[in-house]
Structure 1
Amino acid sequence: MSEEYKQTEEYFANQVFLNAVLPLLKTVAEGKESLKKVWEGKSGICQIRCMADDGDDGTHFLIEDGSWTVKRGLCDEKPNVELVFKSRAHLNQFFKGKQFPFPAMKGVIKGKGLFLPFMKSLVGMGGLLASTEAPKTEEDQRVLVKSMFNLLSTGISTLNKLGHPKVKAWTEKSPDRVYAWTVGEDEEMAAYIRIKAGKSKASRGIYRRSMPFFTMHFDSVASALGILLDTDDMIESTMSGKLTMKGAPEYGAQLGEHMLMVGGLIQ
């Protein structure tokens, strides 16, 4: 793989999908009661692979009695279920919802009964991430906010580690700082990214070692969705107390720029 290709939008998008989007399958499968039921008692390995000239890439999932573990890269063992995309571009376009051939599907019949639950989980994740307005149920609203917080924090960190010029310039100049997203004091509805001198790490939950340098704090799940889905005006949300920017506004603008960048790559 050439160094030039590693700086293309196609490659950045592919790595955001593999590192930040596909791991949300665990969040959705374990967060929605309807999907938890279809995974009850099931164990095995599911994998998403994309073929590439420099060596195939992917993300796999170890499932033990319905409990998921996400692993970056390809599994050493033969997976029970596998979706194989013919290229990085193929995977990107498929998960963006563009019209593109379906991937090769392995384990449809001999996949230990995991194929249909896996596909239902993919459809569930895709449906939530494609939302243009708040889902109707509280369960789906919570799963979507949790997913989007995790996507944004991990997506930004992924771009930094790949050397994306705009994100790297932001982290290289930064002292040790934490940028966070929170809803009230709800530990599940929170995520953050810690950056320092060009390095970054995304984590879930509320950062409690000290006060984050900057926090986008929402008073409710509904308020968070209003901003994340761009259905509420940010100034009005701030004036009404739905959104509190804890930190200097100019740093919030920087964080917002990177949030939009991640969103743009996967749409």
Structure 2
Amino acid sequence: MPELPEVETVRKGLEQLVLGKTVDHVIVSWNRIIESPDIEEFKHQLIGETLHSVSRRGKYLIFHWTHFDMVSHLRMEGKFDYCDADDVVTKHTHVRFVFTDQSELRYLDVRKFGRLTLLPKDTAENYKGIKKLGPEPTNEMFKLEDFVAKLKKHKKAIKPLLLEQTLVTGLGNIYVDEALFMARIHPEQPANTLTLAEIEVLHQSIIECLQKAVDAGGTTIRSYKNALGEAGTFQVNLQVYGRNGEQCPNCGNEIAKIKVAQRGTHLCSICQRLHD
């Protein structure tokens, strides 16, 4: 699943490619991709709309058209391709935004889990999936004191708690493993047992891990590519994710893969010890 760094890279790519484009017509070949409104209204309302900007909230992309916001969640394997209108329509292409200059933005999704939702202009922040999101993982938005207070209220293991997106948004399975390793915290450590020192390190590790991944263009796992068709490079910097059986870069211990809340989880049992 594309995580925050991948979605941010897609956003940047889209802004290079399609800002200022005006929709001539929209073709939808898999109706379930469109969450709302109904298919015909979705297609009709976008005719004549010009794309002014693309923003991101957590893992959601928000397309700012002249009169509408369009929220996109890529889910497992959704992606956007930019091409000419006469280019061959490849398999798994489900939505085509055909522009007046005969270029196209195409939404492709092997698993068909992604969703597009058209909303009145400037209302994307009220979208059901966006309303519950925690702060963006930046020093300006992600305040340490708030993070400390919220963690102290939860007995849940730290990894699944971070995956909920309510304490801070944008962390998926890959970057939770990486941030917890950087902070030397066991993924099953109950959140309310973390020391202030551990929370401070974790807070900074989350910010640094995601920023480094954004700078590297995201992580390529299986089929991820950004809107420019380029694979991200952060996978070469992963310290534990996907490296089970290899040596820990800190201590040389073998990196293990376990299940935490039904998610494959990578850690070093020496660097990341459970404590009372």
Q: TM-score range by the shorter chain?
A: under 0.3
- Decide which structure has the larger Cα Rg and report it: 2
Higher helix share: 1
Higher relative contact order (CA 8 A, sep 6+): 2
TM-score, normalised to structure 1's length?
0.26
